[in-house]
Structure 1
Amino acid sequence: MSTLKKLGYPENTKLLIIHADDAGLSHAENQATIQALQEGSVNSTSIMVPCPWFGEMADFAAKHEQYDYGIHLTLTCEWKHYKWGPILSKTEVPGLLDENGYLHNNRENFKNNTSSEEIKKELQAQIERALQSGLKPTHLDSHMYTLGLKPEFIKIYKELGAAYKLPILLSKQLIEFLGLDPNLYISNDDFCVDNVFLGNYADFEKGQLEAYYERVLDNLPTGLNIVLIHTAFDVPEMQGIAIDHPNFGAEWRQIDYDFFTSQKCQSKIENNGIKLITWREIRDILYPEG
C-alpha cells in the first residue's frame, strides 16, 4: 500500500513536512527554530536531548504543545570544540565514547566501536528524559541518520518507534546513501517517507542554496515529502560551534531560516498545490489508540 493510501489521501496529493533538525543544539538554534515555527512555513522540528541547550527547547515545547516536536536521537557529536556525551553514565555505554569521553565525531567511528545493546539503552534513556521534561513527542528521527548504518541499528530504530507508538523517519533514500540496500531492510508494512530533500554543499558554496529550495517546491512530486533543514542565527555563538565546519554551519543555517520564513516560500507552497502535513497528524493516523 502506498504512503498516501496509508494516510488516507488521494494518489495525486503533494504532502510536505518542512522539518528543522537540531533543536536543543544551541541558543541560536533554538531561537531561530522557535521563530520559524511561529512565523514561517516550518511545521516540524526535533530536539537533541544530550545537548546543552535541550532544557530551553524542552521548556518551550512543554508550554506550546500545538507545534510538532520529535526526538532527534543523538549518538554522535560532529563539532570541533563543542562537545557532549551520552545521557547514561560513561561506564554503561563505553562504546559510544571517543578517547576524550564524548560521543564519536563521525559515523565511521561510531559504527565501528559501539554495540546494539549500548545504542538501545542510550536511546531509551534519551526518550525517557524527553518524556520526563514534559515533551509530548510526535515522532523519532536520527541525528546524522546513524541508525541507518547497520541492519541491527535499523531494527532498534523500528523497535523504539513501535514501543513508544511514534512514527520514525524511515527513508529508502537515506539508507541507500549510507551504503545499505533499503529493500533488504524495509518491508511493504513499514511506513516510509517517499522523498527526502536536503541541501548540498555544492549549492551552498555557489550561493545557490535558496535556489535549490525553490526548485524543490516548484517540482515537488506526489507522495509524502520531507525537506530537512537546520535553522539557526548566524551569530558568534553558532559561528563558534561551527568553526571549520561550513557544511551545515552558521551561514547555512541562517539561509535556511531566511528562506523558510519568507513570503516567497509561502507563496510557492500555495501556488504549487502543496499540502503541509505534520508528524503529529501522521502519528495520530498510524497510532489512533495513542
Structure 2
Amino acid sequence: MKKIVFRADDAGSSEGANIAILRTVREGVVRNVGVMAPGPALSSAAELLRDLEGVNLGLHVTLNAEWDRVKWGPVLPAAEVPSLVEVDGSFTSEPATLKERGFSVDEAMAEVAAQLAKLRESGLRIDYLDEHMGVGWIGLVDRLEEFCSKKGLVFARRVPFLEGSQTQDVSALLETISAASDAPHVVVAHPGSDVDPTMRQFTLGGMQPGEVLRERAQDRRVLTDPRLVDAVRQGRILSMTYREAAQ
C-alpha cells in the first residue's frame, strides 16, 4: 500500500478555489488543505472548511503575491513589516526578490504568527504549516520549524514530496504513485473551479487570462477522478493526513 498525503493548496485565494478544494475533499482523495490567511476569500474558506472531519488544515504561510493582476498583502499593517511589502502595501511577487533585496526575519515571523492567529480566530483548527511558493528557502526554515514546535503544528517539510508527481494526468499520477517507496510522500495540487472570475485574472508574465484557471480546474478533476478514488477505496493507496504521516 502506498502512503500519500494529498494536499490542496491556496484555500482563501478565491471563491472558486474554496469550492473546488471542498469538492476534492468530499468527492476525492484530499485530506490536507493549505489555507492562505491573507487571501481575499478567507472568510468563505473558513465557512466551508471549519467543520470538516478527518481533514488536516494547514497554515499556508504566505509572504508573496505572485500574480500580476491579483495582489494581497500582510495580515499585519504594512508599516509593521516594511521589508516584506511593496510601496502599495502588497507582498513582493517572488521569494527570490525578498532574498535579493534583504528582509527582516523577525518581521517575517511576526507575520507568520499573525497569520496563524487569524486562521484560528476564523474558527479553523490548524494542524500543520507549509509554505506558499516554498518561501522558507530564503532563510526561514529553522525559524519556521521552531515556530511549529512551539505552536503544536506539524512542519510540512518533515514529509517529502513525491518526486515526479503532477496532478494534470491521472494515469501518470497513478503510475508515479505505484513506483513510490512505502514511506509517506506528499502530492500537492491547486484545485480550481471551471468558472471563477478572480482566478481567471491569475496571470504571470505572458500568460493569458484563464490559463491558470484551466490548469487548476484540471487539478480538481484529477483529484476527484474515479480511478484515483477507487485506488484509495480498494486499499492500493492510503490517503493520509500530515499528523498521521508525521507519527
Aligned to 2:159: 193
1:155-170 alignment, distance < 5 Å: 155-170=142-157
- 1:102-125 deviations in Å (ceiling 9; x for gaps): 101112112233211111100000
Aligned partner of 1:87 among 56, 61, 75: 75
Aligned partner of 1:154 among 118, 141, 148: 141
| Matches of 1:279 and 1:143, distance apart in 2 | 17
Q: What amino acid maps onto 1:97 in structure 2?
A: V
Aligned to 1:5: none
| Matches of 2:74 and 2:221, distance apart in 1 | 32
Aligned partner of 1:239 among 178, 200, 221: 200
Counterparts in 2 of 1:65 and 1:276: CA distance versus 1, 3 Å:
closer
Q: Does 1:130 align with 2:130?
A: no
- 1:189-223 deviations in Å (ceiling 9; x for gaps): xxx214434656xxx9xxx6444323222322221
Aligned to 1:256: 219
Give the C-alpha shift of residue 149 in structure 1: 2.5
Q: Which moved more, 1:26-35 or 1:102-111?
A: 102-111
Please say if residues 197 and 228 of structure 1, whose CA atoms lie closer than 8 Å, have aligned partners that are also in contact. no
Please say if residues 65 and 136 of structure 1, whose CA atoms lie closer than 8 Å, have aligned partners that are also in contact. no
- 1:134-164 deviations in Å (ceiling 9; x for gaps): 11111110001101232xx111111111011
Q: What amino acid maps onto 2:3 in structure 1?
A: L
RMSD (Å) for aligned C-alpha atoms: 2.3
Please say if residues 196 and 226 of structure 1, whose CA atoms lie closer than 8 Å, have aligned partners that are also in contact. yes
Q: Which moved more, 1:259-268 or 1:39-48?
A: 259-268
Aligned to 2:5: 17
| Matches of 1:20 and 1:227, distance apart in 2 | 9
Q: Which segments of 5 or more consecutive residues in structure 2 lack a partner in the other structure? A: none
| Matches of 2:46 and 2:245, distance apart in 1 | 21
Aligned to 2:131: 142
The residue matched to 2:162 in structure 1 has which SS?
A: strand
Q: What amino acid maps onto 2:159 in structure 1?
A: V
Give the C-alpha shift of residue 65 in structure 1: 4.4
Identity %: 26
- 1:225-269 deviations in Å (ceiling 9; x for gaps): 110111011324121234644798111111111011011112344
Please say if residues 82 and 241 of structure 1, whose CA atoms lie closer than 8 Å, have aligned partners that are also in contact. yes
Give the C-alpha shift of residue 59 in structure 1: 2.0
The residue matched to 1:16 in structure 2 has which SS?
A: strand
Q: Does 1:228 align with 2:185?
A: no
| Matches of 1:70 and 1:51, distance apart in 2 | 14
| Matches of 2:151 and 2:164, distance apart in 1 | 27
Q: Output the TM-score relative to the length of structure 2.
A: 0.89
The residue matched to 2:173 in structure 1 has which SS?
A: helix
| Matches of 1:218 and 1:242, distance apart in 2 | 34
The residue matched to 1:241 in structure 2 has which SS?
A: coil
